[in-house]
Amino acid sequence: FDDSHPTHLSVAIPALREYGFRGTFMINPSTPDPQSPDRRRRSSSFHAHRGAWEACARRGDQELANHTLHHEGASGDASMDREIGGASKAIWDLAPGKSKLLALNLGGGTYWETTRTLRYYLDKYHLFPASGSLGMDDVYGDRVAAFRRHLERHVEAGGWCRIHFHDIGENRASSEANFRAALDVAKEHEPHLWIAGLADVYKYQTERRASRLALENATPHRVLLRLSCATDHALYDQPLTVELS
């Protein structure tokens, strides 16, 4: 869910809780700057609803992710560091004591100028890039059917299916009816899905690749296994699953 729209708080999150789903909310956690000539910097949709976002972070059933401070790009290293790093720090403040690993999406229609590689900022602020998802704005046409096809292909292949929404409601990017219809499709396929936040899935995949399961000892009545994982436990805190048969 992109851009920390107020409808994410009023429509999306209540619906996700109703269905028992977890979503990822790409927020722009800027604070108002009354001295700025740019109207977007003088006001902040996130700041106007900060209390609700804080409550969401405390509850912990939804995931927050880095969509940069203002969603307006950057011109130079200092500006890029401020936009990316400032957003990460704001999210860390909302969820103290939790893993600092976050998904990052720089946002469509933005221009970023820097002498450094993106990897520099990813490493500095404990981020991983999150892009490549099916857009669910109604303007694209027949989104519910498109999502069903998209999801079923991923279920068949055993892959990671990602879709994204903007604002939701009447005369918004996605109607609430279509949003709920997409949730119904996901609910229909729920026995075959793990519906999780972007960071949850990324952590699990990374941990699984970095893990080793070894047989320590075995007798006719007892088996001792050792599971080790080479990832940083402070960042990669998603529980792994071991299936025995």
State the pLDDT at residue 242: 85
Identify the residue with better confidence: 48 or 31.
48
State the pLDDT at residue 128: 97
pLDDT tens column, 186-234: 999 999 999 999 999 999 999 999 999 999 999 999 999 999 999 999 9
When pLDDT is cut at 50, 70 and 90, the band that residue 168 belongs to is very high
Mean pLDDT of the chain: 93
C-alpha distance from residue 197 to each of 32, 83, 95 (Å): 28, 22, 15
**35 has a pLDDT exceeding 90:** no
**41 has a pLDDT exceeding 60:** no
**108 has a pLDDT exceeding 90:** no
Question: Mean pLDDT over residues 12-19, rounded?
Answer: 98
Task: Give the integer Cα–Cα distance in Å for 188 and 214.
Answer: 37
**Cα 196-201-207 angle, rounded to 5 deg:** 145
User: Under a CB-based contact definition with an 8 Å cutoff, are residues 194 and 154 in contact?
Assistant: no
Strands 134-135 and 222-229, by their bridges, are unpaired
pLDDT tens column, 53-67: 999 999 999 999 999
H or E segment to which residue 24 belongs: strand 24-27
State the pLDDT at residue 38: 56
If you ran DSSP here, which 8-state letter would residue 192 be given?
G
Question: Mean pLDDT over residues 47-58, rounded?
Answer: 95
**44 has a pLDDT exceeding 80:** no
DSSP helix/strand/coil, 89: helix
State the pLDDT at residue 27: 96
C-alpha distance from residue 118 to each of 66, 89, 123 (Å): 14, 18, 9
User: Under a CB-based contact definition with an 8 Å cutoff, are residues 205 and 170 in contact?
Assistant: no
If you ran DSSP here, which 8-state letter would residue 169 be given?
S
State the pLDDT at residue 36: 58
- Residues in contact with 165: Cβ distance below 8 Å, sequence separation at least 6, in sequence order: 1, 2, 12, 136, 137, 173, 174, 179
